[in-house]
């Protein structure tokens, strides 16, 4: 079985789409780790409750502990970088934090946002760049590293889910760029819904966006420097045929 490390900037990023897939991966026996870079304290939702940033961060941290239990995560680590301000940090500081976690977990698969960040949030874009750089740096040295995957959405909408109802600010990837679609069963969906319900302070957003409707037909991923056809149905499929290699060896 494989170790899968998800790296996202904010609480709830893991549940706004990937959650059912994470539950499925645990049920299949894989180890699933989640690294979240901030406590999400700067969200505008805090005004609804009159929380300070510190109070909101503490509440969302507790909500994430409940999510970890619902999704049966192998491990959850929540860092305390400033929410909404990752672009203002020296990227080497972020890279060092992510690299330290990669060295500890020794994952076979690392997952983060695609280059467009889905929502375009600056923290999403920074996280993509940082994780990709760490992966490229470490895969020549970490024998376990096999794959970098980007959770995304279908550019033209999910025919079984929320294509027409998608919030206007969200982007997806063209279907030809999608290399893996993880199927979502009823048990997976129920666990994903239960994880979303843990974010009590975010229920207005959850209800307005219905995020799991966007992945009802399967959870799409791009793969970095891999384009298998037919598409994979599991992020761990074919890892034994995809050995770690120096980044330079893939250059044309």
pLDDT in tens, 126-163: 999 999 999 999 999 999 999 999 999 999 887 665 54
pLDDT at 210: 92
pLDDT at 85: 98
Region class of 153: left (phi > 0), else alpha (psi between -120 and 50), else beta: beta
Number of domains, the chain: 1
Tell which residue, 171, 124, 151, has the closest CA to residue 218. Answer: 151
The reply to whether omega before 230 is within 30° of 0 (cis) is yes
Cβ atoms < 10 Å from Cβ of 76: 19
DSSP SS3 for 36: strand
pLDDT at 245: 59
pLDDT band for position 165 (50/70/90)? low
Segment holding 77, helix H or strand E: strand 75-81
Average pLDDT, the chain: 93
* 168 vs 211 pLDDT, higher one: 211
Q: Which residues contact 231 (CB under 8 A, 6 or more apart)?
A: 178, 179, 180, 181
Q: Give yes or no for residue 251 having a pLDDT over 90.
A: no
Could you tell me the residue range of the domain that residue 125 belongs to? 3-250
Tell which residue, 148, 90, 153, 85, has the closest CA to residue 117. Answer: 153
- Residue-wise pLDDT tens digits, 177-187: 999 999 999 99
| CATH number for 121 | 3.40.50.10320
- Residue-wise pLDDT tens digits, 50-84: 999 999 999 999 999 999 999 999 999 999 999 99
The pLDDT of 38-48, averaged and rounded, is 96
Under a CB-based contact definition with an 8 Å cutoff, are residues 119 and 211 in contact?
A: no
Q: Which residues, in sequence order, are bridge partners of residue 222?
A: 150
pLDDT at 161: 59
Question: Which string of b and e fits 35-66 if b means at least 16 CB within 10 Å?
Answer: bbbbbbbbbebbeeeebebeebbebbbebbee
**Cα separation, 169 vs 181, whole angstroms:** 23
The pLDDT of 154-177, averaged and rounded, is 80
- Residue-wise pLDDT tens digits, 76-105: 999 999 999 999 999 999 999 999 999 999
pLDDT at 252: 41
The pLDDT of 6-15, averaged and rounded, is 98
- Residue-wise pLDDT tens digits, 202-233: 999 999 889 999 999 999 999 999 999 999 99
**Cα separation, 194 vs 192, whole angstroms:** 5
**Cα separation, 45 vs 51, whole angstroms:** 9
């Amino acid at each position: 079985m494989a170790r899968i490390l998800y790296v996202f900037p904010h609480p709830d990023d893991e549940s706004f789409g990937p959650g059912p897939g994470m539950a499925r991966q645990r049920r299949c026996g894989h180890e699933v780790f989640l690294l979240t870079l901030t406590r999400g304290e700067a969200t505008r939702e805090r005004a609804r409750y009159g929380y300070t940033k510190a109070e909101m961060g503490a509440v969302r941290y507790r909500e994430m502990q409940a999510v970890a239990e619902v999704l049966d995560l192998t491990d959850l680590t929540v860092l305390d970088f400033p929410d909404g301000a990752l672009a203002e940090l020296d990227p080497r500081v972020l890279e060092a934090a992510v690299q330290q976690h990669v060295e500890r977990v020794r994952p076979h698969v690392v997952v983060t946002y695609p280059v467009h960040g889905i929502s375009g949030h600056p923290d999403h874009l920074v996280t993509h760049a940082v994780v990709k750089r760490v992966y490229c740096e470490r895969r020549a040295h970490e024998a376990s590293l096999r794959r970098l995957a980007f959770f995304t959405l279908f550019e033209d909408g999910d025919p079984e889910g929320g294509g027409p109802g998608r919030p206007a600010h969200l982007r997806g990837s063209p279907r030809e760029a999608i290399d893996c679609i993880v199927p979502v069963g009823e048990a997976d969906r129920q666990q994903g819904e239960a994880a979303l319900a843990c974010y009590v302070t975010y229920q207005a957003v959850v209800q307005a966006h219905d995020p799991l409707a966007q992945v009802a037909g399967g959870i799409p991923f791009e793969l970095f420097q891999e384009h298998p056809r037919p598409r994979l149905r599991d992020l761990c499929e074919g890892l034994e045929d995809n050995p770690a290699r120096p980044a330079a060896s893939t250059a044309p």
